[in-house]
Amino acid sequence: MTDLGITIDRAASAPASAQLKTALRHAIDAGGLAASERLPTVRAFAAQLGVVPNTVARAYRELEVEGYLVGRGRAGTFVADDPPAPEASPTLERLAVAYLVRTRAAGFTDDEAASAARRATEDPTS
């Protein structure tokens, strides 16, 4: 079985199924899981992650509803041929909003904040 490099953080506040769903979606978005690639069986993946099979089944089911995965009965679960385009993560959105709130409170305009962010990406060490 292929190790997808996914782990579950038992100390995290997010449920294991949500962590798995997020990790799989990121792997698909980043190209780590290619279109039509077969995923591990629910039982095998659950054993690898140290979770109950229902945790994996729930993540797979939710990702099927969102269009990232396709269940093909006994053949298994596969990455969709045309998964949804990657979106900015909710975490990234929250960070961006927090950045704007702080820059506005410091008296900067949104354009000044955006220019500073662009310059920072060109040389993040400065």
pLDDT tens digits along 27-50: 998 888 999 999 999 999 999 999
The domain limits of the chain are 16-79, 90-122
The CA-based angle 117-119-125, given to 5 degrees, is: 95
Question: What number is the average pLDDT over the span 77-101?
Answer: 80
Q: Are strands 77-79 and 69-71 parallel, antiparallel or unpaired?
A: antiparallel
Is 13 exposed, middle or buried, given 0-12, 13-18 or 19+ CB atoms closer than 10 A? exposed
Pick the CATH number of 16-79 from 3.40.50.720, 3.40.50.170, 3.50.20.10, 1.10.10.10: 1.10.10.10
Res. 58 pLDDT band, cuts 50 70 90: very high
Look up residue 67 and give its two tokens: 């269009």
User: Over the chain, what is the mean pLDDT?
Assistant: 88
